[in-house]
Amino acid sequence: MRLFEIENNIFYHVTNSNNLSSIMKNGLLPQSGDRSQKLNDFGIFLFRNLDDVETGMEWWLGDEYEEDDELILLKVTLPKNIKYEDGEFEVIVKQPIPPSSIEISDELKL
């Protein structure tokens, strides 16, 4: 599954549902938010596969959100012209990702 996803440029992004309308209108935009500042980096952080999403939510990402935050999982098909860097747990994209490349995923309950 992981090989299929990477070969097809499929990645996953976790966000608060409050961000959904802006994301679907403007796409995902590289930013330097609280989490990226902790890493001393900026960008759009994407998981390589669903197993990595689950691991991230259990180990550290889940702790970054409030208990009552409604989280959603986005499936991102990166256009071939958008490059990414390998991070320790995720890939990092430093270019905007257009809304046409993003869909809500129901593959995993957060």
pLDDT digits (tens, 9 = 90+) for 58-103: 776 655 666 777 889 999 999 989 989 888 788 999 999 999 999 9
Check: CB of residue 97 under 8 Å from CB of residue 27: yes
Sheet holding 102-105, edge to edge: 10-16, 71-77, 102-105
Q: What is the token pair recorded at 96?
A: 């905007």
pLDDT digits (tens, 9 = 90+) for 14-56: 988 899 999 999 999 997 666 655 656 678 999 999 998 888 7
Q: What is the token pair recorded at 89?
A: 């747990």
Q: Residue ranges of the domains in the chain? A: 2-105
Instruction: Please tell me the class of the 2-105 domain.
Output: alpha beta
pTM attached to this predicted model? 0.82
